[in-house]
Amino acid sequence: MRILVINPNTSDGITATIVAAARSAAPHAEILGAHPSRGVTSVESHTEEAWATIGVLEQIELAESGESSPDAYVIACFGDTGVAAAREAASVPVVGITEAAVFTAVTLAHRFAIITMPPRTIAQSDRVVEALGIAHRCTVRAVDVAVAEVEEGSAHLIDAFIGEAQLAILEDGAEAIILGCAGLADLVEPLSGRLGVPVIDGVAAAVAFAAGLAAQGLMTSRRGAYGVVGSAPSAAELLR
C-alpha cells in the first residue's frame, strides 16, 4: 500500500517532518511525501489557501499520471485546504488531517480542543468543525505563533502549547488535545506526558485513516459533490 502525503506549502523542512510522522502511524504502508512546485511558504490566510489548493491539485495530477500512483492521499494542512478539490481529482480516497484528528479525538474523549496557530487560522478550524458538526464537543483555541516557526522543529513551542492546552482542559473541559498544525509531531509525546491527556497529531491520524480506507477498497463517491473535475485546466500547467 502506498500513501502520498501532500504538504500544501512549499517547505522542504516541514514536508520532511510530516513524512516522518506519517511513517510511524502506518507501518505497513509506503509513505511518500510531496509539496507544490510553486506556491506559498505557509498556509495561514484564505489567499494562501487558494494557492495551496492549486498546488495540491498539481501534486495529485503528477501522482496520478505516474506509474505507481498511490492508494490514498493525505492532505497535510490544518483546515483541510484543498481536500474537496483533491477528492475530485484523485482516483483514490483523500483524507484531511483536521477531519482525521477530530475523528480520533471523538473516540478517545467526550470533549476536546484544537489548538491551532496562528490565531487567524481559527476560522479554518471552525470551518472543518462546522462541516463535521462537532462544535458541541470541540473548542478551537490558538497560540500566537507563525507556521514558519515550525520549519526547524517545534520543541521550542512546548510552553506555549502547554499554556493554551491547560486553559482548554480547565475552562472547556477538554479531555484530549488536537495539535492544530502539520509539522508538530515532535510535541505529541512531551505534551501528552505533561498534560496527562491524549495529544493527537493530525498527520498520523490521517495516514492511519487513509490506510484503513484503502484496506477497505473504498472510493470517493462520484455521485454529487465530488464528481468529475469539470472544465478546470491542468494545475501543473498553471504553476509551470
- The only residue of 46, 62, 160, 166 in contact with a copy of itself, by rule CB under 8 A: 46
Q: From the CB of 237, what's the least distance to a copy of itself, in Å?
A: 11
- The only residue of 12, 30, 110, 156 in contact with a copy of itself, by rule CB under 8 A: 110
65 interacts with a copy of itself by CB under 8 A: no
Q: Which residues inside 180-209 make contact with a copy of itself, applying CB under 8 A?
A: 196-198, 200-201, 204-205, 208-209
Helix (H) or strand (E) holding 23: helix 12-25
The residue range among 12-20, 34-42, 62-70, 150-158 that interacts with a copy of itself, by the rule CB under 8 A, is: 34-42
Distances (CA, A) of 68 to 26, 32, 59, 114: 19, 11, 14, 35
- The only residue of 14, 19, 150, 176 in contact with a copy of itself, by rule CB under 8 A: 176
41 interacts with a copy of itself by CB under 8 A: yes
The x, y and z cell numbers of residue 10, run together, are: 512549499
Q: From the CB of 108, what's the least distance to a copy of itself, in Å?
A: 5
Q: Which residues are within 8 A (CB) of 120 and not within 5 positions of it... i.e. 6 or more apart?
A: 44, 45
- The only residue of 7, 17, 98, 104 in contact with a copy of itself, by rule CB under 8 A: 104
The residue range among 12-20, 23-31, 62-70, 151-159 that interacts with a copy of itself, by the rule CB under 8 A, is: 23-31
Q: Which residues are within 8 A (CB) of 3 and not within 5 positions of it... i.e. 6 or more apart?
A: 22, 26, 29, 30, 31, 32, 70, 71, 72, 73, 74, 207, 210, 211, 214
- For residues 17 and 104, which CB has a smaller minimum distance to a copy of itself in the complex? 104
Rg (CA), the chain: 17
Q: From the CB of 229, what's the least distance to a copy of itself, in Å?
A: 4
Q: What is the DSSP letter of 147?
A: G
The residues with which 180 forms a beta bridge, in sequence order, are 116
The x, y and z cell numbers of residue 5, run together, are: 502525503
| 161-174 CB burial, b ≥16 within 10 A, e <16 | bbebbeebbeebeb
State how far the Cα of 218 lies from the Cα of 207, in Å rounded to an integer: 15
Binding residues for a copy of itself, how many (CB under 8 A)? 90
- The only residue of 53, 59, 116, 154 in contact with a copy of itself, by rule CB under 8 A: 53
12 interacts with a copy of itself by CB under 8 A: no
- For residues 67 and 236, which CB has a smaller minimum distance to a copy of itself in the complex? 236
